[in-house]
């Protein structure tokens, strides 16, 4: 026994030495550059620890030590850290900053030292006034209805004059509308067109107008899509289709603009409480418009109770959403400043998981466990009569 211990002691010291040196270097690198995926980092360290035990217990020779040292080297090389660029008063345009994600993002970027051009639907509204009151002189509130070509052109002229030769570092297409949630058959065509105008055609026109400034700075284009634009969610046919179009546009732009050095990212927030669902007055107006556009046979098949339940879904939707927007803001900031940003971000509880399940699992699995989970408990009157 004494002989075994004396032979093992040098290896114990060598293993401890390698572990100590690697641990100090790895944690220094992680702290300096900020670990991008803390979960992967922790799991990798655990695997390395288990490998060290295996190498020491089963390979009592220099072969085990070399194997463990090589694993440490590989882990260090591929350590998932993010190299962030400095702010340096970079200029960013954000649309839809009256409320919600855009409003919080404008404040966050201003606090970090960005020059922020905050586009609002109503320059004299409470959201715009709050930004003027609480933010620094670097933030400029601009009247910007993204469905108005004239306002987009005016915003471009103002921003181009201010940034001049430096260009515009970022454009965040955030403005969007939800519309009244309901079965695709019930939604009026005007809602489909409105969703496409605001959620797709507007961001496309803003992007096209400001791309010369982005190309000059080799900056970032970030489109705030939605989880509903990546997976089918019942009652969001109009909204989801418009966001899916925006997501595809982002993917194409990512490929086309790479030759210019412009990086493009799509963000798919899932389950956050913003003001996108509108007010009770707006819901009443939308419900009335929906009812007025239904044909008698469709209205009879679905029934009044089913349609009323749709508005109740809107009333309860905020209670199922997260009021903390920090996950979305962190992802947008990463897309703006990371040296190698992702092409897609999915902040929110289970958002990325649901995307992966829809993309990689059989459709019957998604339909069974996710589609039905989002289906209303109320049943159209015609179906109720069949039971």
Kindly name the residue from 62, 156, 192, 239 that is annotated as catalytic: 239
Compute the Cα dihedral for 363, 366, 367, 368 and give only its sign.
positive
Which tokens hold the place of 339? 């040296």
Taking Cα atoms as reference points, which of 165, 260, 164, 249 lies closest to residue 220? 260
Buried b / exposed e across 67-102, counting CB within 10 Å, b at 16+? ebbebbeebeeebebbeeeebeebbbbbbbbbbbbb
Integer CA distances (angstroms), 243 to 65, 154, 197, 198, 227, in order: 53, 26, 11, 10, 9
Instruction: List all residues 6 or more positions away from 293 whose beta carbon is below 8 Å from its beta carbon.
Output: 188, 189, 190
Buried b / exposed e across 168-200, counting CB within 10 Å, b at 16+? bbbbbbbbbbbbbbbbeebbbeebbebbbebbb
User: Whole-angstrom Cα distance, residue 324 to residue 245?
Assistant: 27
Instruction: Please report where in the chains the tokens 């990086």 appear, as a residue.
Output: 263
Instruction: List all residues 6 or more positions away from 264 whose beta carbon is below 8 Å from its beta carbon.
Output: 220, 221, 222, 223, 250, 253, 254, 257, 343
User: Whole-angstrom Cα distance, residue 45 to residue 24?
Assistant: 13
SS (H, E, C) 128-146: HHHHHHHCCCCEEEEECCC
Alpha helix positions (H), 59-143: 62-77, 100-112, 126-134
- Other Cβ atoms less than 10 A from the Cβ of 109: the count is 26
345 near 222, Cβ under 8 Å? no
Q: Look up 239 and say whether it is catalytic.
A: yes
Using DSSP, state whether 264 is helix, strand or coil. Answer: strand
| Structure letter (DSSP) for residue 185 | T
| Structure letter (DSSP) for residue 372 | G
Dihedral over alpha carbons 212, 197, 334, 159 (to 10 degrees): 40
Q: Where in the sequence numbering do the catalytic residues fall?
A: 239
């Amino acid at each position: 026994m004494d002989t075994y211990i004396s032979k093992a002691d040098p290896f114990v010291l060598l293993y401890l030495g390698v572990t100590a040196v690697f641990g100090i270097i790895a944690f220094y690198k992680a702290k300096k550059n900020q670990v991008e995926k803390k979960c992967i980092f922790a799991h990798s360290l655990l695997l390395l620890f288990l490998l060290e035990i295996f190498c020491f217990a089963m390979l009592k020779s220099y072969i085990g030590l070399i194997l463990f040292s090589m694993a440490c080297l590989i882990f260090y090389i591929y350590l998932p850290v993010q190299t962030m660029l400095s702010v340096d008063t970079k200029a960013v345009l954000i649309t839809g900053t009256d409320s919600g994600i855009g409003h919080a993002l404008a404040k966050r970027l201003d606090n970090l030292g960005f020059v922020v051009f905050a586009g609002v639907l109503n320059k004299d509204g409470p959201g715009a006034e709050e930004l003027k009151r609480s933010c620094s002189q670097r933030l400029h509130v601009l009247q910007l209805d993204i469905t108005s070509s004239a306002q987009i052109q005016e915003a471009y002229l103002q921003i181009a004059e201010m940034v001049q030769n430096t260009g515009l570092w970022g454009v965040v297409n955030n403005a969007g509308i939800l519309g009244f949630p309901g079965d695709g058959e019930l939604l009026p065509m005007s809602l489909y067109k409105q969703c496409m105008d605001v959620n797709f055609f507007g961001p496309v026109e803003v992007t096209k107008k400001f791309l010369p400034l982005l190309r000059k700075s080799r900056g970032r284009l970030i489109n705030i899509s939605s989880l509903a634009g990546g997976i089918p969610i019942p009652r969001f046919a109009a909204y989801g289709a418009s966001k899916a179009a925006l997501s595809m546009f982002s993917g194409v732009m990512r490929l086309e603009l790479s030759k210019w050095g412009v990086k493009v990212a799509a963000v798919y927030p899932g389950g956050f409480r913003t003001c996108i669902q509108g007010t009770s007055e707006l819901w009443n107006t939308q419900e009335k418009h929906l009812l007025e556009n239904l044909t008698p046979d469709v209205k009879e098949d679905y029934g009044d109770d089913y349609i009323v339940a749709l508005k109740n879904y809107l009333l309860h939707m905020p209670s199922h959403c997260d009021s903390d927007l920090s996950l979305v803001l962190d992802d947008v900031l990463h897309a703006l400043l990371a040296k190698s940003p992702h092409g897609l971000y999915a902040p929110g509880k289970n958002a990325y998981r649901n995307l992966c399940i829809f993309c990689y699992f059989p459709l019957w699995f998604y339909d069974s466990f996710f589609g039905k989970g989002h289906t209303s408990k109320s049943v159209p009157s015609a179906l109720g009569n069949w039971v």
